[in-house]
Chains A and B, each alone.
Chain A
């Protein structure tokens, strides 16, 4: 089984390099903007201009090396990691997450699955910096950027075949509308307003407008203000911080439910990977 997958790998990578040149992330954004005339999609001409030179590409190149390198206590690469489309298949895997995995009996988002592979294949544990350090210029962000890019331009398509996948998405929808905290915020407070609505100077994406929402959930994105590539889980954390909610643990089920729901709401729209955000 391992041998078969290894033989298929060079082919898979060759496919990736041809498809990823087909349509650049900025072309996808331009098409969405032309179609929807959304102020959210066009709010930053500077970012749009910088997209061909997105610093995320250098980070992805480091991620590719990390992915193939034998590392960790078990001295193994991540090339046998199964992101849902079989061991080693990266193309299109990112846009089909979160999904149910029979080996863990759980719905996992991309990041929790990556961590699972780093633990099971490479032998890392929760105490290792490779697992603990999530945000910033970390291994996890390098790997995330490399792997996510292999789904650039593909439509979001998280599977809804397993009852747990539906359960997590539906719970995520409830969480999205659940008001709490000292300011009574839910996600809907800021993400269901008419297109073009702003929080101070930032244009807010509306979850009910799929062309806006696909950009909103296109993480990893290089955040110019942070000078770093950020993940979906990081964005959840940032919004919870504004909402005055307590800290959320990485890979937790609240994370996965919210990300299941938000990915479902961008279904069919092309992913912009990597993106560039304010």
Chain B
């Protein structure tokens, strides 16, 4: 045990399944938190297969944890089609190919629902609060209590917005957005769609699908848009 040689490691590997099964059968004490189900051999799985196993079957995540939207941790970790495709793109380390991008664009566009009264800018002050809030939907060891506040849009984490506060740089700067782009109906429709589901234009973008995933309501999106477009908003000062 003192000296680990490649030979003893190889022997241990060969007898691994037998060894762990034997331990459980004879009731030997094994540390619970580090115990892996003895019946599977990780080395026989492809990396992606093992990753899925680890997520859903290794007892790692609290899959039963309740979420703010009334689902479970397991639902949070279950990938939809877009997430699956975009994970593969990210994993490949390559640019997304045109065909896949087009498919994602279409799929995303189909999710967008428009406000009944048309796209009219809301209240930029409310929009500012939403854009600058990272509260909401966090779970893990410290779940956000949605009775204590309204979930925000997280925009500031990735975008520079108004010049008065420091925003992130994962996305492009949106400072002066309305002033630069103007507020034509086409422009407003585009911005609404980007915020609702950005994959309609930017396939496999890092930006969340705030509308399509129910993170923001239609009214909240219109408020955030007012923050981006209203001439009185600090974004355009």
Contacts and interface: CB of A to CB of B under 8 A. Distances in A.
Contact of B34 (A84, A167, A170, A251): A251
Contacts of A129: none
Interface in A24-72: none
B13 A163 contact: yes
A163 B45 CA distance: 11
Interface string A197-208: 111110000000
A246 B77 contact: yes
A247 interface: yes
Interface string A148-176: 00000000000001111001101111110
Interface residues of A, number: 69
Interface residues of B, number: 71
Given A171-B47, A173-B47, A200-B166, A248 B61 contact: yes
A144 to B, nearest CB: 16
Contacts of A221: none
A168 B215 contact: no
A225 interface: no
Given A82-B1, A254-B55, A255-B60, A108 B213 contact: no
Given A174-B91, A179-B90, A247-B61, A167 B45 contact: yes
A103 B50 CA distance: 22
Interface string A177-213: 1111111111011101100111111000000000000
Contacts of B55: 175, 178, 254
Contacts of A201: 166
Interface in B190-237: 206, 208-209, 213-215
B122 interface: no
Nearest to B139: A246
Contacts of B73: 245-247
A177 to B, nearest CB: 4
Nearest to B142: A241
Nearest to B9: A162
A241 to B, nearest CB: 4
Interface in B28-52: 29-34, 36, 42-43, 45, 47-48, 50-51
Q: Does more than half of chain A's interface fall in helix, strand or loop, or is it mixed? A: mixed
A171 B61 contact: no
Given A1-B2, A249-B59, A179 B9 contact: no
Interface in B59-78: 59-63, 65, 67, 69, 72-74, 76-78
Contacts of A186: 87, 90
B168 to A, nearest CB: 5
Given A183-B208, A184-B86, A241-B138, A246 B76 contact: yes
Given A115-B31, A119-B29, A178-B51, 15 more contacts: A100-B12, A167-B45, A170-B47, A173-B47, A174-B51, A183-B215, A186-B90, A197-B169, A197-B170, A200-B167, A201-B166, A246-B61, A246-B67, A247-B62, A254-B55
Interface of B: 1-4, 6, 8-9, 12-13, 16, 19-20, 29-34, 36, 42-43, 45, 47-48, 50-51, 54-55, 58-63, 65, 67, 69, 72-74, 76-79, 82-83, 86-87, 90-91, 137-142, 154, 156-158, 166-170, 206, 208-209, 213-215
25 contacts: A104-B30, A104-B31, A106-B36, A112-B33, A162-B13, A163-B13, A164-B13, A164-B43, A167-B43, A167-B47, A173-B91, A175-B54, A177-B87, A181-B77, A182-B69, A182-B137, A182-B214, A183-B208, A185-B208, A197-B169, A241-B141, A249-B61, A253-B59, A253-B60, A257-B50
